[in-house]
Amino acid sequence: MERKIGVYICECGPNISEKIDIDKVIDAVSPIEDVAVVEKFKLLCSADGKKFLEEQIKKNSLTHLVVAACSPKDHEKTFMMVCENAELNPYLFQLANIREQCAWITEDKEEATKKAIRLVKAAIGRVKYHSSLEKKEIDSIPDVLVIGGGIAGMEASLQLASKQRNVYLVEKTSDLGGLVKNYEKTFLGMKPISDIIDEKTKKIDSNGNIKVFKDSEVEEAIGFFGNFEIKIKRTNEESEPVEINVGAIVLATGSALFNPDKTPEYGYGKFENVITSLEFEKMNLSGKILLKNNKTPNSVATIHCVGREERGYCSEICCMYSLKFARYLKEKLPNVKVSNFYSDLCIPGKTDQKFFNQTKEKNVGFIRSSNIKLTKKGEQLNIEYDDENKNKQNLLVDMIILSPAMVPNDDATKIAEMTGVSQDDEGFFAEEHEKLNPISTSTEGIYIVGCAKGPKNISDTIVQAEAASGNILSSLIPGKKLEPEVKTSQISESFCIGCKTCLTVCSYGAITFDETKKISVVNEVICRGCGNCVAACPSGAASIKHFKFNQLYQEIKEAVK
């Protein structure tokens, strides 16, 4: 077909016109084959600049457009919009960055002009090989799957469920509430936990749009954002798995406690009356705090940071719930002597320090200590420790509560592999970006909330559940179509030999392996066009739209001619 390329050079006010001899660029570029028109304009990104471009495209019935102006990061979308309005496929357009890459990097006008000419020629060389690409639209399923029925899972389900959006809540055990239902009270305000959980479970049961699967787990989750196919199976019997389709998945699988027998110096399992914080919560919930010999203890010690060395991180909530334990004890056993062994008190945020000061006033001992060793002494337990001045001290107590670190659930790896979510070095689920996308993952449509992504207290967990609903409600709108990435990669069926190198480098899980034909297949809806697979493919079977080898080769050739 006969190509007619329009080249438009933006003066960008003083920015380009002062630093580059635009007329020289125009003369250098006009004689190039297929170039129909070369013009300059004061400010192309302004309103009348855009109108000018639209008229030019229509008047000269241009087939390709090259704009020499600022960085694509600034106005590539603007000029693509202009193409669309002028009924020119937005991908038959190339932006040469002669501002950041030429005008702003040198005072020498001649050098800047020379480079500008090269860049514009390169853009023209490339645009000739562009092919028009169509935006795709796929319809999305608004429903959501929530895995894990703890506080995080319940909160997310309540937030998301509505008339147009069903929520499927899958819980491994036989009832909702997760670890938290074993606690009697919350530490902020010492409010009874049961009210919070009952209120949420009642709301869930009465909400017609939330379908709960108890004693069940997710067996398979394949697909992409907007269309996941899920298989849910009962944990203990071999019944037929239930198949559902959802648009997004929320992982709220919670966490477990570090097993203290990995730190023998605390004598867990060896000495009686050495119990973990979870065991103490359950004992407290049952109302009777008793030693093994059914006597009430009159001295209790809580040891913080159990397993912090081994795990390599502070689990954030143990200091606060240890303060809560002190209050439980003072309430139930008025003259019990309570002491806490800690290394660093982690009580951030506006309410925690006040809670600590008030607890301290109930004469609870706080001992900063290190390298603690426990030994049995008759019926009691002797805590040998170094105090702040590094000299050895001892303390005899009846009962010891260990506050172990929080670790990922043991089925975390299974779920990670099933959903294609990656895990960080500690085994928790890894978020897409630590700061800006704390609850989304590199697999679009799968969100991680609560302790499944790291130690967190209850109110932060609730915030993250709401944040997940914020993300889903804003991107998975009933009836609204999804627009996946256009510039995706493709793998030629006849050239692919099935060496699976691309599978290892794809960070979005967008490539699956066809076992019968022994070839890799790109799912163009998940693919985000990062190009890893194209670079890794040894034989060139993989290529990516809009960045084809020929397009890049011509661009480079013209630039270095």
Partner 1 sequence: MTKALKLNKSAEEGILEFLKYLLESGKVKGVFTLKRISKNSAIAYSLITNPDELKDAVPFYPLMPVNAGKLMSRFTLKEGAKKPVAAILKPCELRGFIELIKREQGTLDNLYIISSICGGVFPSRTEVDRSAEKKLPKYWESVKKGEISPDLRSVCKACEEFIPYTADITFDLLGNNDIDKHSIFYLNTKKGEDLAKDMKGDFSEKEFDRKKLEKINEKRQAEKKKLYDEIGKKMNGIDGLVEIFGRCIGCHGCSKVCPICYCKLCEFESPDSEYSPSNYETELRKRGGIKVPPGTIYFHLGRLTHIGISCVACGQCNDVCPVDIPVADIFKKVGESIQKMFDYVPGKDVEEEIPLVSFKQEEFAEIEE
Partner 2 sequence: MNELKGGIIPSKTGIRETIIDLIEKSVDKGIFDAVIIPMKVPSGDSFVYVLVKDKKLLKDGFPLAPTMLVQGAKAVSSVTRLGKGNMKIAAIIRPCEARATVELAKLGQADLDNVTIISIDCPGVLPTSDFLEDPDKYLKKFDDAYKNWDDKIMRPVCQICDKSSMVTGDLHIGTLGAKKDTCFIISNSEKGDSVAEKLDINLNQNLDSWNSKVKAISEEKKKKRIKAHKELKSTVSGLDNLVETFSQCINCHNCMRVCPVCICRLCYFDSDKVKHTAEDYLTRAESKGSMRFLPDTTLFQMGRMMHMSISCVSCGNCEDACSMDIPVGQIFSMIADETQALFDYVSGRSLDEPIPLVAYKKEELHQMEDAND
Partner 3 sequence: MKEKEQKKDVLVIGAGIAGIEASLLLSKADRKVHLVEKTSYTGGATIKFEEVFSNMECSTCMVAPRQQELLQDNNINLITLGNVEDVKGSVGDFTVKIHKKARYVDMVNCIGCNACFEPCPVSLKNEFEEGLSERKAIYVPCAGALPNVPMIDTDNCLRFKGKKCTACQEACMFEAIDYNQKDEKIEIKVGAIVVASGYSLIDTKPLSKFSYGKIDNVYTSMEFERLYASNGPTEGNIVLRDGKNPKSVAIIHCVGREEKGYCSSVCCMYSLKFNHYLKSKIPDIKISEFYTDLCIPGKSHQKFYEKMKETKVDMIRFNEIEVAKQGKDTVVKYSTKGKKNTLPVDMVILAPAIEPKNDASELAKTLGISKDDYGFFKEENPYVSSVISSKPGIFIVGCAQGAKNIQDSVSQANAAVGKVLSLS
**Which residues lie near partner 2 (CB under 8 A)?**
425, 494-501, 504-505, 515-516, 518, 538-541, 549-550, 553, 557, 561
Nearer to partner 3, 464 or 488 (CB): 464
We find the least distance from the C-beta atom of residue 494 to partner 1, in angstroms, to be 5
| Ramachandran category for residue 61: left, alpha or beta (phi over 0 → left; psi -120 to 50 → alpha) | left
We find the least distance from the C-beta atom of residue 464 to partner 2, in angstroms, to be 26
Nearer to partner 2, 235 or 504 (CB): 504
Question: Out of partner 1, partner 3, partner 2, none, which partner does residue 188 contact, by CB within 5 to 8 A per kind?
Answer: partner 3
We find the least distance from the C-beta atom of residue 446 to partner 2, in angstroms, to be 21
Q: Is 126 within 8 Å of 552 (Cβ atoms)?
A: yes
We find the least distance from the C-beta atom of residue 558 to partner 1, in angstroms, to be 15
Q: Which two tokens stand for residue 461?
A: 């967990």
Question: Out of partner 3, partner 1, partner 2, none, which partner does residue 44 contact, by CB within 5 to 8 A per kind?
Answer: none
We find the least distance from the C-beta atom of residue 420 to partner 2, in angstroms, to be 16
Question: Out of partner 3, partner 1, partner 2, none, which partner does residue 493 contact, by CB within 5 to 8 A per kind?
Answer: partner 1
Distance CA(408)–CA(451), nearest Å, equals: 8
- Checking 173-176 for CB contacts under 8 A at 24+ apart, the result is 173/149, 173/214, 173/215, 174/214, 174/215, 175/149, 175/214, 176/149, 176/150, 176/200, 176/201, 176/204, 176/212, 176/214
Nearest to 143 by CA among 210, 86, 79: 210
Distance CA(65)–CA(5), nearest Å, equals: 6
We find the least distance from the C-beta atom of residue 459 to partner 3, in angstroms, to be 4
Q: Is 284 exposed, middle or buried, given 0-12, 13-18 or 19+ CB atoms closer than 10 A?
A: buried
* Angle in degrees, 0-180, between the axes of helices 318-332 and 352-361, rounded to the nearest 10: 30
We find the least distance from the C-beta atom of residue 560 to partner 1, in angstroms, to be 19
**515 sits near partner 1 (criterion: CB under 8 A):** no
Q: Which residues bind partner 3 (CB under 8 A)?
A: 12-15, 43, 46-47, 73-74, 77-78, 159, 162, 186, 188-189, 191, 196, 308, 312-316, 344-354, 357, 388-389, 424-426, 428, 434-439, 454-455, 458-460, 462-464, 466-471, 473-475, 477
**377 sits near partner 1 (criterion: CB under 8 A):** no
Query: What residue type is 79 in one-letter code?
Result: F
Query: What residue type is 197 in one-letter code?
Result: I
Distance CA(308)–CA(268), nearest Å, equals: 16
**495 sits near partner 1 (criterion: CB under 8 A):** yes
Q: Which two tokens stand for residue 145?
A: 């799957």
**239 sits near partner 1 (criterion: CB under 8 A):** no
Question: Out of partner 2, partner 1, partner 3, none, which partner does residue 185 contact, by CB within 5 to 8 A per kind?
Answer: none
We find the least distance from the C-beta atom of residue 127 to partner 2, in angstroms, to be 17
Nearer to partner 3, 477 or 503 (CB): 477
Question: Out of partner 3, partner 2, partner 1, none, which partner does residue 191 contact, by CB within 5 to 8 A per kind?
Answer: partner 3
Q: Is 118 within 8 Å of 68 (Cβ atoms)?
A: no
Q: Is 106 within 8 Å of 16 (Cβ atoms)?
A: no
Distance CA(534)–CA(489), nearest Å, equals: 8
Nearer to partner 1, 206 or 494 (CB): 494
**557 sits near partner 1 (criterion: CB under 8 A):** no
Q: Which two tokens stand for residue 150?
A: 């703890």
Nearer to partner 1, 106 or 492 (CB): 492
Q: Is 545 within 8 Å of 129 (Cβ atoms)?
A: no
Nearer to partner 2, 459 or 504 (CB): 504
What are the residues whose beta carbons fall under 8 Å from the beta carbon of 326, sequence distance 6 or more?
302, 338, 340, 359, 362, 364
DSSP designation for 292: T
**500 sits near partner 1 (criterion: CB under 8 A):** no
**517 sits near partner 1 (criterion: CB under 8 A):** yes
**494 sits near partner 1 (criterion: CB under 8 A):** yes
Distance CA(483)–CA(462), nearest Å, equals: 30
For 471-534, where are the E strands, in sequence order? Answer: 489-491, 511-514, 519-522
Nearer to partner 2, 132 or 550 (CB): 550
What are the residues whose beta carbons fall under 8 Å from the beta carbon of 256, sequence distance 6 or more?
406, 407, 408, 409, 410
We find the least distance from the C-beta atom of residue 436 to partner 1, in angstroms, to be 44
**493 sits near partner 1 (criterion: CB under 8 A):** yes
Distance CA(230)–CA(148), nearest Å, equals: 15
Q: Which two tokens stand for residue 76?
A: 């590539």
We find the least distance from the C-beta atom of residue 378 to partner 2, in angstroms, to be 49
We find the least distance from the C-beta atom of residue 41 to partner 3, in angstroms, to be 14
**549 sits near partner 1 (criterion: CB under 8 A):** no
Residues that bind partner 1 (CB under 8 A): 493-495, 517, 519
